[in-house]
Amino acid sequence: MDAQRAVVLDGARADDPWTELARNALTEGLQSAGVRTEILPLWELEIAPCTGCFGCWVQTPGVCVIDDAGQTVAEAVIGSDVTVFLTPVTFGGYSAELKSALDRMISLVSPLFTRVRGEIHHRRRYRIYPRLLALGLLEAPHAEEEAVFGRLVERNAVNLWCPGHAAGVACADDGEAALRATLDRLLAQAGVRR
Amino acid sequence: MNRAKQAVLLVGSPKGLARSTSSRRAAVLLDALQDRGWAVSKLHIHAALRSQEDTDVLLAAAASADLVILACPLYVDSLPAPVIRVLELLHAARTRDGEETRFLTLMNCGFPEASHNDTALAICRLFARAMGWTWAGGIALGGTGMGVSGAAWHKVVRLTVDALERGEAVPDEAVALAARPPTKIWLYMLAGNLMWRRQAKKNKVRQRLGACPYAEREHS
């Protein structure tokens, strides 16, 4: 059986010790599980904001009309078994760097509507989508931000047709042991480590 | 003489101040505030981020306002990336922590259910708290506002402005009225699907609407 492929969308621009530790622990966790891992440091890539033109739906179906790294990231995501979001928890959401890449991924779904559990969403474009694992970073625990972050990841997983998802927040105040425990849980929940 | 209250509208749609649904809907609110004696201004987030000078103007306008209104479309369950960038910059530059700035958000999405906007509004509420601002509430439109007639929108605006004048948050009645879905959701879906197919046909890609250009493993 082929090794699983993971792509890490690294939207944690800061190079503080906590972010570095989390980034390294995440990479180690994936690699020790035998996952082929590609890391995309989003702040180093040219990713223009989505212009809301819907060209990726009705002009060049499936491919964003902006020819930059946003296309590369979308292709890497749909080619992965597990897509990993690494981001500071920003008011409960993602960093602007991660969101910029994510906004360009509507090319991965169809413009046509369907119902999912009674709610309207866009139809799938592809037969297979990656599972989604999201690790958010905080300095100190913040129950509300953590809850909103979890809901956001869950909503993204529905809209991007992910067959499974796992979301967790690691707080600098809780230390390295808690970070590693969170990662272990996420990797198991996302089906990376069985 | 009392200074007029200042309201600044930040439009977070890439389509700009003239063409976007967000801007057109919020403009009605801004006009109503102006009629009540508020000093109002509006800025386009995407344009402001193109130069440091314009970014500074936006940050200063928000910092000195009594009311900041954010109007933007829903992008993948949250705010568009440039809007998040501005929230990050405002937070990094905050100086008036605890002072009485109020923050109101108007979100709209293409799905008929306004509830798709809930996560984005929660992010805005948490941003307001992190800024030390007062959360004045969120108004969510579904179906790009097709379920809310012009008259209904004017009522939403009147209820909202009345509440703001009393120092209160957007009332539940206004939130519920704005959240009205298009009358028949099945019809909205049908019309939407037809519109996408027509646009694709016009661009001569009707047969490729469901294309999978990155489908390396689809056939493996």
Instruction: Look up the CATH number of the domain holding residue A80.
Output: 3.40.50.360
Q: For A119-175, what is each residue's pLDDT tens digit?
A: 999 999 999 999 999 999 999 999 999 999 999 999 999 999 999 999 999 999 999
* Token representation of residue B165: 């004048």
Q: What confidence score (pLDDT) does residue A18 get?
A: 93
pTM for the model: 0.96
Whether B219 shows a pLDDT value over 50: the answer reads: no
What is the pLDDT confidence band of residue B1, given thresholds at 50, 70 and 90? low
The residue of chain A with its CA nearest to that of B131 is A91
Q: For B22-42, what is each residue's pLDDT tens digit?
A: 899 999 999 999 999 999 999
Helix residue ranges, H only, B97-149? 118-131
Q: Which of B77, B196, B202 sits opposite A152 (nearest CB)?
A: B77
Whether B181 shows a pLDDT value over 90: the answer reads: no
Q: Which of A79, A94, A105 sits opposite B216 (nearest CB)?
A: A79
Q: For B139-149, what is each residue's pLDDT tens digit?
A: 999 998 888 88
The residue of chain B with its CA nearest to that of A111 is B196
| B1: in domain | no
| B127: in domain | yes
Whether A194 shows a pLDDT value over 70: the answer reads: no
Q: Is B113 part of the contact surface with chain A (CB cutoff 8 Å)? A: yes
Task: Report which secondary-structure segment, H or E, holds B134.
Answer: strand B134-141
CB contact under 8 A, A96 and B88: yes
| CATH number where B20 lies | 3.40.50.360
Our count of domains for chain B comes to 2
Are the beta carbons of B143 and B190 closer than 8 angstroms?
no
Mutate to test the interface with A, among B50, B76, B189, B220 (most CBs of A within 10 A): B76
* Distance of alpha carbon B177 from alpha carbon B139, whole angstroms: 9
* Distance of alpha carbon A17 from alpha carbon A21, whole angstroms: 6
Handedness of CA A53, A59, A65, A70 (dihedral sign): positive
Question: Do B151 and B82 have their domain in common?
Answer: yes
CB contact under 8 A, A103 and B199: no
One-letter amino acid identity for B181? P
What is the pLDDT confidence band of residue A80, given thresholds at 50, 70 and 90? very high
Q: For A22-50, what is each residue's pLDDT tens digit?
A: 999 999 999 999 999 999 999 999 999 99
Question: Do B188 and B157 have their domain in common?
Answer: no
Question: Do B115 and B158 have their domain in common?
Answer: yes
What ipTM does the predicted assembly reach? 0.96
Question: Do B167 and B100 have their domain in common?
Answer: yes
Q: What confidence score (pLDDT) does residue B76 get?
A: 97
Question: Do B147 and B76 have their domain in common?
Answer: yes
End-to-end CA separation in angstroms for chain B:
75
Q: Who has greater pLDDT, B216 or B114?
A: B114
Whether B218 shows a pLDDT value over 60: the answer reads: no
B19: containing domain: 6-178
Q: Which of A49, A79, A96 sits opposite B214 (nearest CB)?
A: A79
β-strands A119-124, A109-116 pairing: antiparallel
- Strand extents, DSSP E, chain A: 5-10, 36-41, 82-88, 109-116, 119-124, 131-138, 165-171
Question: Do B110 and B210 have their domain in common?
Answer: no
Question: Do B165 and B192 have their domain in common?
Answer: no
Q: Which of A49, A112, A120 sits opposite B185 (nearest CB)?
A: A120
| A140: in domain | yes
| A125: in domain | yes
Structure letter (DSSP) for residue A87: E
- Find the mean pLDDT for residues B67-92: 97
Q: What confidence score (pLDDT) does residue B179 get?
A: 95
- Name the B residues in 4-33 with CB < 8 Å from any A CB: 13-15
Question: Do B62 and B153 have their domain in common?
Answer: yes
Helix residue ranges, H only, chain B? 16-19, 21-35, 45-48, 52-64, 81-92, 118-131, 150-165, 172-178, 185-202
Question: Do B192 and B166 have their domain in common?
Answer: no
Question: Do B78 and B95 have their domain in common?
Answer: yes
Q: For B188-202, what is each residue's pLDDT tens digit?
A: 999 999 999 999 999
CA distance B14 to chain A (A): 5
* Distance of alpha carbon B14 from alpha carbon B17, whole angstroms: 9
What is the pLDDT confidence band of residue B18, given thresholds at 50, 70 and 90? confident
Q: What percentage of chain B has pLDDT greater than the value 90?
A: 84
* Token representation of residue A170: 């690691």
The residue of chain B with its CA nearest to that of A114 is B189
Q: How many CB atoms lie within 10 A of CB B150?
A: 8
Whether B220 shows a pLDDT value over 80: the answer reads: no
A128: containing domain: 5-189
Q: Is B210 part of the contact surface with chain A (CB cutoff 8 Å)? A: yes
| B188: in domain | yes
Question: Do B88 and B146 have their domain in common?
Answer: yes
Phi and psi of B21, rounded to 5°?
Answer: -60, -45
Whether B54 shows a pLDDT value over 90: the answer reads: yes
Q: For B103-127, what is each residue's pLDDT tens digit?
A: 999 999 999 999 999 999 999 999 9
| A194: in domain | no
| A102: in domain | yes
Q: What confidence score (pLDDT) does residue B145 get?
A: 84
Task: Report which secondary-structure segment, H or E, holds A58.
Answer: helix A55-58
Mean pLDDT of chain A: 95
Question: Do B155 and B189 have their domain in common?
Answer: no
